[in-house]
């Protein structure tokens, strides 16, 4: 509720305008929105697929628990860190930058990359997808990277 006092030229109060707004619907909508976000975060966090979200500068916004389990550390250890400081690679950086510029997704199947912690220092085969997230104006605001370790599956197919 807001109230405004209007005065005449002599500064004497002449009238009030009071505006009452029912915010119940807005609060219900916000609550539903927050519940949906929590549901989606819960689903993503419990997927076997590794998920990492970055901003336009490739600073990590979020990772799911599967990502943290494979590459070590906790979810909080990744927030704010630059993806390419943690996982350097000129080829991968070019792919990310292309997704930002063109706004298109990218998928690669069976890409050889290490996994850490990896005591045998062996390469793993990954299926990965890069998904740019755009705002209403079509500008890419975030990039979502999903990874699935396909090493065992590829070995099974070869045998």
Cα-to-chain-centroid distance, residue 110? 23
Structural domain harbouring 111: 47-158
| Same domain for 83 and 10 | no
* Residue-level pLDDT at 116: 59
**Residues 88, 71: one domain?**
yes
Q: What average pLDDT does the structure give for the chain?
A: 85
The confidence score (pLDDT) of residue 118 equals 53
- Span 68-73, mean pLDDT? 86
Number of domains into which the chain is organized = 2
Given a contact cutoff of 8 angstroms between Cβ atoms, the answer to whether 123 and 110 are in contact is no
What is the pTM (predicted TM-score) of this model? 0.72
- Plot region of 121 (φ>0 → left; ψ -120 to 50 → alpha; else → beta): left
Same structural domain for residues 24 and 64?
Answer: no
| pLDDT at site 100 | 84
Residues 39 and 70 in one domain: no
In tens, the pLDDT along 117-159 reads 554 456 778 888 999 999 999 889 999 999 988 887 777 777 7
Cα–Cα distance for residue pair 60/52, rounded to 1 Å: 7
Considering the domain architecture, whether residues 27 and 51 belong to the same structural domain is answered as no
Question: 70 and 134 share a domain?
Answer: yes
Q: Is the peptide bond before 117 cis (omega within 30 degrees of 0)?
A: yes
- Looking from the CA of 148 toward its CB, the CA atoms found within 13 Å total 12
Average pLDDT of span 71-92: 87
Query: Which is higher by pLDDT, 59 or 47?
Result: 59
Contact 59, 82 (CB under 8 A): yes
72 and 22 in a single domain? The answer is no
pLDDT bucket at 83, cuts 50 / 70 / 90:
very high
Could you tell me the two tokens for 149? Answer: 């370790």
Report residue 63's pLDDT band, with 50, 70 and 90 as the boundaries.
very high
Question: Which run of H or of E encompasses 86?
Answer: helix 83-86
Examine the domain organization and report whether 67 and 13 are in the same domain.
Answer: no
120 and 72 in a common domain: yes
Inform me whether the pLDDT recorded for 80 exceeds 90.
Answer: yes
């Amino acid at each position: 509720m807001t109230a405004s006092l209007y005065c005449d030229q002599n500064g004497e109060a002449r009238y009030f305008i009071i505006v009452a707004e029912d915010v119940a619907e807005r609060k219900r909508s916000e609550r539903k929105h927050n519940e949906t976000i929590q549901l989606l975060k819960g689903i993503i966090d419990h997927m076997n697929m590794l998920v990492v979200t970055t901003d336009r500068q490739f600073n990590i916004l979020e990772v799911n628990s599967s990502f943290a389990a494979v590459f070590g550390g906790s979810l909080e250890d990744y927030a704010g860190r630059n993806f390419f400081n943690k996982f350097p690679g000129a080829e991968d950086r070019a792919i990310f930058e292309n997704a930002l510029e063109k706004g298109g997704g990218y998928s690669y199947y069976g890409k050889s990359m290490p996994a850490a912690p990896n005591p045998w220092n062996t390469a793993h085969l990954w299926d990965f997808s890069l998904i740019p997230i755009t705002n209403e104006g079509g500008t890419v605001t975030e990039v979502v990277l999903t990874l699935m370790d396909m090493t065992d599956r590829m070995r099974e197919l070869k045998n």
